[in-house]
């Protein structure tokens, strides 16, 4: 398995995040060589400047966190984010359209954003906590058909985060091109490793530094390790 740091999207999407918080996030991302940071659109320009001499990707969100923005609004958000320096876009699908079985709309929306960002990485957030197994399967198939880069489990702001079972289900139906980003409630090394074992190739978390610190072998008792929430808590972060 690759080094854990290469899986991590180091995230701060808190509504109250300050400039100092984002500076800290970016410094940590550079220190640990994380795959990316994920920040709100407001902080994309800041992250671009802070990370200009690094290989850390700059991610941001579109249609976040509820996904009910119009297609045109999401498209503008995505284009604006790329212009400001984002290299990866995490977009929330229109859950209402999915629940209505308006699959053509869901597919068209994804294609609209994909084309608007002109080859940059697109991650499609499906918010698994609100979906049935059949809906998760359907969204995986749509992501296969639209040739996006990632299908992402959760915003971290829903009623629950990622579960191993949902990642396994996605992994069962994804094609060889589509990758999986697990996010929401991933707070410890055991949960992160379980998601990777289930098929995830990215981990969205605000606990990246803690994961890296406990990844190193220690002689102390394992009984001191924190228990994970296994994606069941209302985490309010990725």
pLDDT, one tens digit per residue, over 66-107 is: 999 999 999 999 999 999 999 999 999 999 999 999 999 999
Domain 4-224, CATH number (from 2.40.70.10, 3.20.20.70, 3.90.1210.10, 2.40.30.10): 3.20.20.70
20 is catalytic: no
Mean pLDDT of the 124-148 span: 98
Q: What is the pLDDT at residue 196? A: 97
Q: Confirm whether 30 is a catalytic residue.
A: no
CB of 9 closer than 8 Å to CB of 183: yes
What pLDDT shows up at residue 214? 80
Q: In whole angstroms, how far apart are CA 137 and each of 66, 130, 185, 216?
A: 20, 13, 22, 36
Enclosing H/E stretch for 203: strand 202-205
- Please pick, among 74, 123, 138, 181, the residue that the annotation labels catalytic: 181
Contact 8, 38 (CB under 8 A): no
What are the tokens at 157? 């702001």
Q: How far apart are the first and last CA of the chain?
A: 23
Helices 133-146, 103-116: inter-axial angle, 10-degree rounding: 40
Confidence of residue 237 (pLDDT cuts 50, 70, 90): low
d(CA 87, CA 60) in angstroms, rounded, equals: 8
The tokens for 25 are: 């996030």
Select which of 123, 152, 166, 188 is catalytic.
152
CB 9 within 8 Å of CB 203: yes
Asked whether 161 and 231 are in contact (CB, 8 A), the reply is yes
Per residue in 200-218, pLDDT (tens digit) is 999 999 999 999 998 555 4
Confidence check: pLDDT of 225 > 80: no
Confidence of residue 157 (pLDDT cuts 50, 70, 90): very high
Radius of gyration of the chain (CA): 17
Average confidence (pLDDT) over 35-43: 98
What is the average pLDDT value for the chain, to the nearest integer?
Answer: 92
Q: Region 45-53: what's the mean pLDDT?
A: 97
pLDDT (0 to 100) of residue 228: 41
Active-site residue, from 90, 123, 138, 166: 90
Please give the average per-residue pLDDT across 125-142, as a whole number. 98
Q: Give the model's pLDDT for residue 229.
A: 45
Our answer to whether residue 53 is catalytic in this structure is no
Query: Helices 19-32 and 208-215 meet at what angle, rounded to 10?
Result: 30
């Amino acid at each position: 398995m690759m080094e854990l740091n290469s899986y991590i999207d180091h995230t701060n999407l808190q509504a109250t995040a300050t400039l100092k918080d984002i500076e800290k996030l970016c410094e940590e991302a550079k220190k640990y060589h994380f795959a990316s940071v994920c920040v709100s659109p407001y902080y994309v320009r800041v992250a671009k400047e802070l990370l200009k001499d690094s290989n850390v990707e700059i991610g941001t969100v579109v249609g976040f966190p509820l996904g009910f923005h119009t297609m045109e609004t999401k498209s503008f958000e995505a284009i604006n984010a790329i212009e400001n320096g984002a290299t990866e876009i995490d977009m929330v699908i229109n859950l209402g359209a999915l629940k209505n079985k308006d699959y053509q709309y869901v597919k068209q929306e994804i294609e609209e954003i994909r084309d608007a960002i002109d080859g940059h990485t697109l991650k499609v957030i499906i918010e698994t906590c609100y979906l049935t197994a059949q809906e998760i399967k359907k969204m995986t198939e749509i992501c296969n058909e639209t040739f996006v880069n990632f299908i992402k489990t959760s915003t971290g702001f829903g009623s629950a985060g990622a579960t191993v079972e949902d990642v396994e289900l996605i992994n069962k139906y994804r094609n060889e091109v589509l990758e999986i980003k697990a996010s929401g409630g991933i707070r410890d090394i055991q949960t992160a490793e379980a998601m990777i074992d289930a098929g995830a190739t990215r981990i969205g978390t605000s606990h990246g530094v803690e994961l890296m610190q406990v990844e190193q072998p220690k002689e102390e008792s394992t009984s001191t390790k924190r228990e994970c929430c296994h994606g069941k808590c209302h985490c309010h972060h990725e």
